Each structure stands twice: as structure tokens, then as C-alpha cells.
Copies of this chain bind each other. A is one copy, B any other.
């Protein structure tokens, strides 16, 4: 089977030629001075993109590795944790926390809503024993956002360390690790940066390191260890294991490109693409999955599949008949998603997703006003003034 014409998934997403060329650049030994330069430069760029001066850890494995490593590093049996659940990834974090022995508190909302920061504040007021809060900023499977700009300072004010899943936020949705007083942030390169899916991009605050270093259950001498990276790499220049040279080259290129474009412009592109897409969905007569547009994440538009159809069927038809790869909901519900990530958060890509979705639904017998939807989306795109130079 040949590759799709368009990858408009929820990530891994399309990469720019510059990133692909970097992925295909010569492989060097990991202690080659040119590679060490590249690795350190990438750490610096990741910090800039996360807007933090905290220590940066680049783990070699997609963000699930970083999330597990961070949770294991911060939790020991008995740790009191407040886990916010508004989707699949928040829910999964809770399972891990219990596995690792945490005393689990959860604030859960339906998967098309967001957690109210006011509720978080009340809960922490009532539960001073809590020392760790875990939250997903952008719940990619359902296309919703939690308000970390408010949640971070609340946690900090309560002396609670935060572990933030911002996997699909980095480079496409406003995020400010230092400004929002967040402690451990885990991002992925394969989403809004348009990089390859093989690394966890992380920042760790001094508050978090203090917890980790005191934690006897924190992984040590392990692929899952944050401490190894700190003690071997940052302290002594020794990699705890061989980093994936080609992934580092690819991530470096994706970061350079985002910084050259300007992070603000990247974010504006994602916002514009998502706005056009939502307008198209609505005018096509379809339903956005999130309860309200206030809580939609700009990296992906989640759309309820019309009654009588199944998401897998929709996704597969769009891929096989129209060469467009969309995403399903990964268990969040009967929805499909059009990604707006990296190079596809731009120009007419949202409309391509809408064409594939609209015509697929029509082929499958659903009522859908394709032309109206496309006109609405194009009108939004026409009105945007985002430069993509």
C-alpha cells in the first residue's frame, strides 16, 4: 500500500522537508563532538519553546516514556496525588499512579469537557495532604484543553508539584512553563512541531528534582530514569544510553524551524487552521465533539461521527478512497479528528480534511452539506492574516 497523499492525523503528523532532510542526515557516533553540539543545542531550543529556564531532559522514546518516567520519579507508595481527568490520557495517568502506589484523588469530567480550575482550588484547599497534581494540557483524543495557566499557580500556591502532559501543545498552543509555574512538563516533537515521533521533550523544575532525589522509588540505572540523565549526562557528560542520533537531528531541525518562524506565529497558524476547520464542520451540519468552542484545542478538531456510522469506518474510507489519513478518537468516543499540526496547520490543509471527511460521510450515506462547509472554512481562511513565511 502506498503512502497517503495527506497525513492530517492527530500525530505523528507530516514533517517539513527540512525536518525530513535532517532525519536523513549522516549518522554520527553519539560522542562525536558534532553530535554533542547538536544535542546541547536541541536542549536549549526545547527550553525556549517550553518557555522555561528549568533543566531540560531529552529522553529517547516517544512521550509515553517521558510521562511514565516522570510519574515513577515523583511517586512513591503513599504519595497523595490529585489527578485531573477529562480524557483518555488523564484517565491513563490515574491507572499508572495507582500502580506506582499513589493515594489517588481524581477530579473527573466527561470527555468532551474540561476540569474547572475553581474545582481544583477547592479540592486542594480541602486536601492539604496532596503533594502532586497531574494534568493533561491538551487532551488530544478528544480535542479539548485544560486551563494550565490557572491550574499551575493554584498548585504552586498550595505547595503542590505539577506533572503536565503538554505532548500536543508544544509549538501550536500557548504554553508557558515558567510563567504558569509548572514543574515537570512533557512534550512531544511529532505534534505541533512537525517532528519525528521518537523523543520525550521534558523540563524539570528544582522543586521537582528535590522530590525526585528524595524518592527511593525513583528509577535509577534504568531506561526510565530521569536521575540518570541528570547525574550522568548533565553532571558528567556521559549519556546513560545511546541517544537516537537521527531523531535528535530531526527534532533539532523542527525546533530550529519553529524558532526561525517565531513561536507566536506558529501558534497563530494553528489557531487560524483550527478556526477555519471548526467553521467548516459546523456549516457542513456536523457536530464538534467538545462541549463548547471555548475549550477546543487548536492542534486537532474532534468531530462527532453522525449516528449510524462508526469512526473506524469513516477513517478507513477517507484513507482508502481519498488518500487522506484522519484519526479516530483512541477510545474517547465515536469521533474522528482532523489534525492541525506542524506544516498542516496552514493554508488549505484544514479544507482538505473537510473535503475528505465530508465526501466520505456522503459516500457512507450521511447527510452533509459539503459545499456550505467548505465555503465557510475558506471564508475564515481568506480572512486570516497569518503569515506562513
Across the interface, which residues of B come within 8 angstroms of A27, CB to CB? 7, 12-15, 20, 190, 196-197
In this complex, the interface size class of chain A, counting residues with CB under 8 Å from chain B, is 35 or more
Shortest A156–chain B CB gap in Å is 29
Indicate which residue in B17, B242, B246 contacts A26 across the interface (CB closer than 8 Å). Answer: B17
Across the interface, which residues of B come within 8 angstroms of A343, CB to CB? 5
A175 at the interface (CB under 8 A from B): no
Shortest A342–chain B CB gap in Å is 9
Query: Are B3 and A28 touching (Cβ within 8 A)?
Result: yes
Query: Are A29 and B5 touching (Cβ within 8 A)?
Result: no
Query: Are B319 and A32 touching (Cβ within 8 A)?
Result: yes
Indicate which residue in B196, B198, B224, B242 contacts A12 across the interface (CB closer than 8 Å). Answer: B242
Residue from A21, A224, A363, A374 whose CB has the most chain B CB atoms within 10 Å: A374
Stretch of A61-69, A78-86, A203-211, A299-307 lying at the B interface: A61-69
Shortest A312–chain B CB gap in Å is 10
Query: Are B325 and A2 touching (Cβ within 8 A)?
Result: no
What separation, in Å, do the CA atoms of A362 and B379 have in the docked complex?
10
What separation, in Å, do the CA atoms of A174 and B355 have in the docked complex?
30
Query: Are B347 and A5 touching (Cβ within 8 A)?
Result: yes
Query: Are B7 and A26 touching (Cβ within 8 A)?
Result: yes
Query: Are B321 and A382 touching (Cβ within 8 A)?
Result: yes
Copy number in the complex reads 4
Given A221-B96, A241-B65, does the pair A12, B28 have CB atoms closer than 8 Å?
yes
Across the interface, which residues of B come within 8 angstroms of A245, CB to CB? 12, 196-197
Shortest A139–chain B CB gap in Å is 16
Query: Are A20 and B24 touching (Cβ within 8 A)?
Result: yes
Q: Digit string of A345-385 for contact with B (CB within 8 Å is 1, else 0)?
A: 01111011001101100110000001110110010011000
Q: Digit string of A87-111 for contact with B (CB within 8 Å is 1, else 0)?
A: 0000000011001000000000000
Query: Are B64 and A62 touching (Cβ within 8 A)?
Result: no
What separation, in Å, do the CA atoms of A245 and B194 have in the docked complex?
13
Indicate which residue in B29, B247, B346, B389 contacts A325 across the interface (CB closer than 8 Å). Answer: B29
Residues of A participating in the B interface, judged by any CB pair closer than 8 Å = 1-7, 9-15, 17, 20-34, 37, 60-62, 64-65, 68-69, 95-96, 99, 190, 196-198, 221-224, 241-247, 250, 319-325, 327, 343, 346-349, 351-352, 355-356, 358-359, 362-363, 370-372, 374-375, 378, 381-382, 388-389
* 6 chain-A/chain-B pairs, Cβ below 8 angstroms: A5-B346, A12-B245, A24-B24, A60-B61, A96-B221, A196-B245
The 10 A-B pairs of least Cβ separation, nearest first, read A24-B24, A371-B371, A198-B244, A9-B29, A323-B347, A64-B241, A21-B21, A20-B24, A371-B375, A196-B246
